[in-house]
Amino acid sequence: MAQQFRTTFTIVNKNVLHWFPGHMAKGLKQMQDKLKGVDCIIEVHDARIPLSGRNPNFKFTISGVRPHILVLNKRDLAGKDLERDTRSRLLQDGNEHVLFTSCKDQKCRGIKQIVPLATKLICASDRYNRSEEKELSIMVIGVPNVGKSSVINTLRNLRLRKASVAAVGAKPGITRAVQTRIKVNEDPPVYLLDTPGIVAPSIANVEAGLRLALCATLQDHLVGEEVIADYLLYSLNKRKNFRYVDEMNLEEPVDDIRIVLATIAVKKNKMKRVRDSSNQYLQVPDLRAASYHFIRAFREGKLAERSHIQRQEGRQGKSLMSTPHLRHPFSSQESTIHLQFPSTVTVGDQSSRMNDDET
């Protein structure tokens, strides 16, 4: 009998996702204070989730009338087959200048186009108080952990043959304040401003929040590693992408995240010691460590046929702005799971229509 998989992903929680720490508020104010000296805005976002998770406040608080370029980074993890559809959808939303990039590819065409495109747009725009300035100043913005600093470093390496200067890391929140200007081009002189990643103060759409968490745009502990891992399993099964079976040494596709995590814990020796009722120590699976192992495999591109999240977004477009309906499959005894989402929400076929080519 064929394996039956969940058609909805359900979570129950009372709280609203809220991660807007002090450095974000401070960074946003710094960004606004420096706008008078900025000619162009480059917004960097994750190519795996091109239609969800972008901070909607940027359009009104930062970009304004300045030339705007949307850089969809981590192209190597997203796949190229949906780029045309993604570009078309973004164009409908007013994003005229979209580039796909991979900082791991020194020959990436998108990376090479950034400075020439920005220069062209700036020269064709009204620079107001900066019209006499020969140097060009560009602010790089975006939500956390989408590769803003990596894009800056890659441009500096590529165009000036100089060492990286912007700090990078695999977790959100590495850049915590607006940095000093970083030169990336000689003629004309082009300077980039690295800025802290800033999310909207609250994320009302549950599925968009889960995607952000899966792509490490939100800190894992805010949502819970086990919840992120379970959403990943649900999403992979929904896409009929069973590559995780071999990667995680499973016998067959499964729909119960506890089986996946227990198998990982045993085979990867991710165990922890706990006391039983008789005060004796026992070795039990460390589900949090196993969850992170599973999530990291996705983030490193080991589970992707092509980005199933990007496929999921494909033609969905603005339907992501609606709030789907939830119930979480973990039992109520699993006290280690903490999810900061609106009360009861369900993500599934009835509330979110996916791409036609996924069925």
Q: What is d(CA 188, CA 46) in angstroms, rounded to the nearest whole number?
A: 29
**Average pLDDT over the chain, rounded to an integer:** 79
If residue 141 lies in a helix (H) or strand (E), which one and from where to where? strand 136-141
Q: How many residues does the chain have?
A: 359
Strand partners, 12: 344
Amino acid at residue number 148: K
**pLDDT for position 321:** 34
**pLDDT for position 272:** 92
Q: What is the dihedral of CA 294, 295, 298, 299, to 10 degrees?
A: -140
- Residue ranges matching CATH 1.10.1580.10 in the chain: 8-16+203-358
- Out of 27-36, 164-173, 280-289, 292-301, least confident range: 164-173
Q: Is 332 exposed, middle or buried (0-12, 13-18, 19+ CB in 10 A)?
A: exposed
Q: What is d(CA 16, CA 202) in angstroms, rounded to the nearest whole number?
A: 7
Half-sphere exposure of 77 (CA within 13 A, CB side): 24
Q: What is d(CA 182, CA 193) in angstroms, rounded to the nearest whole number?
A: 6
pLDDT digits (tens, 9 = 90+) for 114-136: 999 999 999 999 887 788 889 99
- Residue ranges matching CATH 3.40.50.300 in the chain: 22-194
The residue that leads in pLDDT, 343 or 337, is 343
**pLDDT for position 176:** 44
Cβ(122)–Cβ(40) below 8 Å = yes
pLDDT digits (tens, 9 = 90+) for 214-230: 999 888 887 889 999 99
Q: What is d(CA 341, CA 253) in angstroms, rounded to the nearest whole number?
A: 28
Pick the CATH number of 8-16+203-358 from 3.40.50.300, 3.20.20.70, 1.20.1530.20, 1.10.1580.10: 1.10.1580.10
Q: What is d(CA 259, CA 337) in angstroms, rounded to the nearest whole number?
A: 16
If residue 126 lies in a helix (H) or strand (E), which one and from where to where? none
Looking at domain 22-194, its CATH architecture is 3-Layer(aba) Sandwich (3.40)
Which residue in the block uniquely carries the two structure tokens 């009204």? 126
Find out whether the peptide bond into 67 is cis, omega within 30 degrees of 0. Answer: no
Cβ(328)–Cβ(14) below 8 Å = no
**pLDDT for position 318:** 43
For residues 3-9, average pLDDT: 87
